[in-house]
Amino acid sequence: MHTLPHHVLILALVSLLFASIPAPANDAPPRIDPATQGAEIIATEYAPPKVVFDFYFDDPRHINAALFWIRSLMNPLSAEPYGYTPDQMSIKVVIHGTEIVALAHKNYAQYQDAVERMRYYAELGVEFKVCGLAAHDYGYTPEDFYDFVQVVPSAITELVHWQMEGHALMQPKMMEKRFSIEEIR
């Protein structure tokens, strides 16, 4: 008598087992193609921020774009599910590049939008700190700046100090926008 090898017998039994399982009913949920599913929305459990921004730009007009970094930090954390108030956020901005000219009274007409946005953020508790060494290099005195500005001895020592106090360092990168969102969407 000839016997079948064990693996052939097992394969035959498994085939019979699966053949007896009924096909899914028509009311089963449709299979969703992973390529068409939407992204999952995550609400990371953020703590109130402690941040020091390093503003050091080669073009003073970049201060306008850099201020959006502050907005992009504060607005989501002020909204639900976080609901942090400005006084719960510790935000410092250390300024020591060409953008220092935007903070001089005499240049208000040219940088009015940036100045008013900084004044608004200062009223919310954001601290704007100008490097004393850079101010000297530009020929500015503390009286040349707005009343919401603090002049500190050195941008570098100020950045180190706030990092040692637990503040995250943010260095906005200003890119030249070459395409509109509509063009590349």
Stated pTM of the model: 0.77
Please write the tens of the pLDDT for every residue from 42-75.
889 999 999 999 999 999 999 999 999 999 999 9
Domains, the chain, in order of start with CATH, read 50-170 (3.40.1260.10)
Confidence of residue 14 (pLDDT cuts 50, 70, 90): very low
My answer on whether omega of the bond before 81 falls inside 30° of 0, hence cis, is yes
What would you measure as the largest C-alpha separation in the chain, in angstroms?
A: 109
∠74-79-82 over CA atoms, to 5°? 90
